[in-house]
Amino acid sequence: MNQIGRPVAVASVDDFMARTRQHLGASVVLLDRDFELVAYGAESIEVPEDHAQSAVRQATDVDSRNWIVDCGIAYATRPVRTPANGNTGSRARICLPVRHGGKTYGFLFVLPGENASISDRELEELMPLAAQAGALLAADTSGNGRLAGAFADLLEGDPDRSSAAAEHLRAADDVNDAEFTMLATDHASIDRRSGVTAVPMGRLTAVFVAQRHSSSSALRSAIDSYSGEGSVVGVGGTYSDLRDARKSWRQARLCLDVIALEPSRGPVAYWDRLGVYRLAAIASAELIAEAVVTPAVRALFEHRNRDLLSTAEAFFDNAGDIAATTGALSIHRQTLYYRLRRIQELTTLDLSIGQDRLELHVGLALGKLVGGRS
């Protein structure tokens, strides 16, 4: 289910290079932060090998390196177009910084053909992919590089690839079938500690936490570590079969979607405590919207007086307690009674009837999550 738009995870550097080359229709060279060659992608399989080697040399020779560094690429956070330099023979270049967690881990050089042009918009569209490549290079630096591709298949690959990745990870002794929980976080850290494996997954970090002997201390420690510095954490369910890691990961991501729409539920949200929001994991957003955003619910979502919507939400959040609702909204009791009457008139629902209350409560709660709110 696609709740809040998220880029598809790049499973490997080769995957990143292929997508970039296809997007731009140009050859690309990826260098690490020490300007060592990581990967090269030719515009076409018909490009001769000597041309490919020449293109790589053009991006990595010492004179060119010094010139483009002077142009500010080492600290850039957006695409940089460096001009030609007649003194060094350096050509005009296009460079995308490859960053993760506020640090530069490499540089992607774009080598368009003689008569090709690449727009600023096309370059900007590549920045999310460049950020994922930065996460992969950061993983290599921390020693987790070889895990990134396997975890991408385990958590987001098709069922066959996921099962194969589970067998590979189990055989390689990288993870085990002790009880485990998946975390999803926007925290940039990819440290690996005993019993904890963290790998980049697109704009998020996936954290596998093993809980040997059903101990919760490792999980608590990991949650505390990754929820600091303003980050948010979604906590999936706990399982013992590695093949269920994709299920726990999906649950953890849904928790982040809920936090994004209801910040008061963060910075840590647990799948086991989501209540009615868990329904959003079992069907598409469109199907859920059709089921729960009834005409009555839609009328309240779309009414120009937003006070009525916030009043209904506060009323349900406080279990229909008048005193608690007036306190939460800082309004007079008579004002609350007036608004509740207006809500009933607008929706044609009777809030004294359990079924009507349930329709409106579930519709408002899930409607926000699946895009039912205008």
**Range of weakest confidence among 2-6, 112-116, 230-234, 291-295:** 2-6
Indicate if the pLDDT at residue 348 is higher than 90.
yes
Q: Which long-range contacts (CB under 8 A, 24 or more apart) does 169-172 make?
A: 169/242, 170/242
Confidence bin at 347 (pLDDT 50/70/90): very high
What does the pLDDT look like over 251-305, one tens digit per residue?
A: 999 899 888 877 888 899 999 988 877 876 666 777 888 888 899 999 999 898 8
Q: Give me the chain's average pLDDT, please.
A: 79
Instruction: Say which CATH topology domain 13-142 has.
Output: Beta-Lactamase (3.30.450)
Instruction: Encode pLDDT of 206-243 as tens digits.
Output: 888 887 655 578 888 888 888 877 889 999 999 988 88
Q: Which residues contact 8 (CB under 8 A, 6 or more apart)?
A: 156, 202
C-alpha 249/C-alpha 236 separation (Å) is: 6
Domains 13-142 and 285-369 agree in fold: no
Q: What is the pLDDT of residues 68-106, one digit of tens each?
A: 777 788 788 888 888 877 776 667 778 888 887 777 888
18-27, 43-52, 304-313, 322-331: least confident range: 43-52
pLDDT tier at 59, thresholds 50, 70, 90: low
Q: Rg for the chain (alpha carbons), in Å?
A: 26
The yes/no answer on whether domain 285-369 falls in CATH 1.10.10.2840 is yes
Where do the structural domains in the chain lie, given as residue ranges?
13-142, 145-281, 285-369
